[in-house]
Chain A
Amino acid sequence: MRLDGRAFVLPVCLIILAEIGARAGGPSDSIAPPSEVLVAFVGALADGSLLLATRDTLASAFGGLAIGGAIGLALGILLGSVGALNRLMEVTLELIRPIPSVALAPVALVALGFGYRLEIAIVAYASTWPVLLLTRSAVAGVEPRLIEVAQALRLSFPARVAKIIVPAALPRIFVAFRLAAGFALIVAVTIEIAINPLGLGAGLMTAGQALRPELMLAYLLWIGIVGFALNILLVFAQQRLFGRAALVGDIR
């Protein structure tokens, strides 16, 4: 992603307008001028509450992503490479998939109680799907000739997965993880807003309930920054890791 200086013109104008608008409208419970948001942001950063909440959210998001990603990867490889198994599982998966992850929250709450485990379980469920579906299609899309090469050499199933299927599908599998990481963050914050009293989502809710719009908006801003930074990091990693492989994969 390359940023042009001109890309900042619009946001800066909007911020100035917001400042003028918010000051003209007088005190409010829902909006605050950007200057006050900035002060609240620095305050929350200084007293450590924002960083603590960030740690909790990211720990849950990545914990869930690790579990869900591992499950999705294993199932995706299995289903993508064993056609019979895929047909067997298809209906079952299509029945489970439409259940929104947030709808699992009450069930998970009864089973697990409040805390990290609740959030990790739901994030894991949510991030399993993109990894599973994209890995399955990446694996099913591996050049058939390479599969025949593996057959001709009589590679065992584990060797076929390790030497042919995963390397061939790796660039697309990484894209799956990149998308799932974005999902994981969104789901973690959603669960925190809906029921789980920790992390950035809970911080946002608490600030709103305490009638501190400037702090609420500071949290919102920060969540945006964290998501943006995460995506940039992953795009960068993708280019570094798969620059060559992605290129080769495109040409073939």
Chain B
Amino acid sequence: MNKGSCRAGEALIRFSKVDLSFSDRKILEAIDLEIMRGEIVCLVGPSGCGKTTALRIATGLLAPTGGGVAFDGAPILGPRRDVAIVFQDYGKALLPWRTAAGNVSLALEAVGTPRAERAARIDALLAKVGLPHHADKYPSQMSGGMQQRLQIARCLAQEPAALMMDEPFGALDAMTRQELQDEMLQIVRTTGATVLFVTHDLEEAIYVGDRVIGLLPHPGRIGIELKIDLPRPRDQIATREDPEFLRLRRELYEFIKSAER
């Protein structure tokens, strides 16, 4: 059993009848979705179907035009420090004039960590994401994978109850992507964070998720919901060869193919 249902019954994030229109165009329609505490929910769907928009609504960066999203029972009115956002374009989300340590420090400064405690926290966070010897490097001196690790370290500095990830590994090469998937799952397991994970990679969604939600386009609405009961910890080879994985993959591919039509 996955841990989402182990701590069942408690939704951390709840979308209720969320609608969103930009001017006259309906982007999202009647989204009802509950994300349980500690659960990893993946959002997939054809490009332009509203995945990023849904994630931005859940973070409070964007207000829905109808319905609402509640976090821990309270309506979301704006971004919260206990909800961290991992942007896909890490190159734009990092401060180019600050070193790796300085970028992590930004989040510590925001949450009000005393100056004296910051250095030790920064070291611990950089070590956690596998960048222990890169504190003094600038983002421009780091590879894409390192930059995304750094962004994750900055998000972890917020000690988030929830991580919102928008195609976080989409721009990385296959090897780095798999490494980061495993590191992310490892980190999430130790922190118990709840995760909303947007991806266009169906296998990635099944690999990391407890549940996969597929959106239909024009307007974006929920078209499929798959429970992923693959054993954890997941393994890049064994999990991906599991007959259940292959069955889920086929089901999701068929859904996406019909959604794109």
Contacts and interface: CB of A to CB of B under 8 A. Distances in A.
**A: interface residue count bin:** 20 to 34
Nearest to A171: B97
A145 B140 contact: no
Given A252-B91, A252-B96, A154 B140 contact: no
Identify the 7 closest CB pairs spanning chains A and B, nearest first: A153-B110, A145-B92, A248-B96, A152-B79, A152-B85, A145-B93, A167-B97
29 contacts: A143-B92, A145-B87, A145-B92, A146-B95, A148-B61, A148-B93, A149-B87, A149-B93, A149-B95, A151-B61, A151-B78, A152-B59, A152-B79, A152-B83, A152-B84, A152-B85, A153-B79, A153-B110, A154-B78, A155-B110, A159-B109, A159-B110, A167-B97, A245-B96, A248-B97, A248-B138, A248-B140, A252-B91, A252-B96
Contacts, number: 59
A152 B155 CA distance: 10
Interface string A149-164: 1011111000100011
B210 to A, nearest CB: 24
Contact of A245 (B84, B97, B110): B97
Nearest to A160: B110
Interface in A204-252: 244-245, 248-249, 251-252
B3 interface: no
Interface of B: 59, 61, 78-81, 83-85, 87, 89, 91-93, 95-97, 106-107, 109-111, 138, 140, 158
B110 A251 contact: no
Nearest to A149: B93
A144 to B, nearest CB: 8
B85 A145 contact: no
Given A152-B85, A153-B107, A146 B158 contact: no
A143 B61 CA distance: 16
A153 B96 contact: no
Nearest to A170: B97
A83 to B, nearest CB: 16
Given A152-B84, A152-B85, A153-B158, A251 B95 contact: no
A151 B79 CA distance: 7
B110 A154 contact: yes
A249 B78 CA distance: 29
Nearest to B110: A153
B79 A145 contact: no
Nearest to B59: A152
B81 A153 contact: yes
Q: Choose among A152, A244, A245, A249 the residue with the greatest number of B CB atoms under 10 Å from its CB.
A: A152
B79 A251 contact: no
A40 B94 CA distance: 58
B98 to A, nearest CB: 8
Nearest to A153: B110
B144 to A, nearest CB: 14
Contacts of B91: 252
Contacts of B87: 145, 148-149
A251 B93 CA distance: 14
A148 B78 CA distance: 11
Contacts of B97: 167-168, 244-245, 248
Given A145-B89, A248-B140, A154 B95 contact: no
A168 B138 CA distance: 15
Interface string A161-181: 001100110000000000000
A154 B96 contact: no
Contacts of B109: 159, 163
Nearest to B90: A145
A167 B93 CA distance: 14
Interface in A129-149: 143, 145-146, 148-149
A67 B106 CA distance: 32
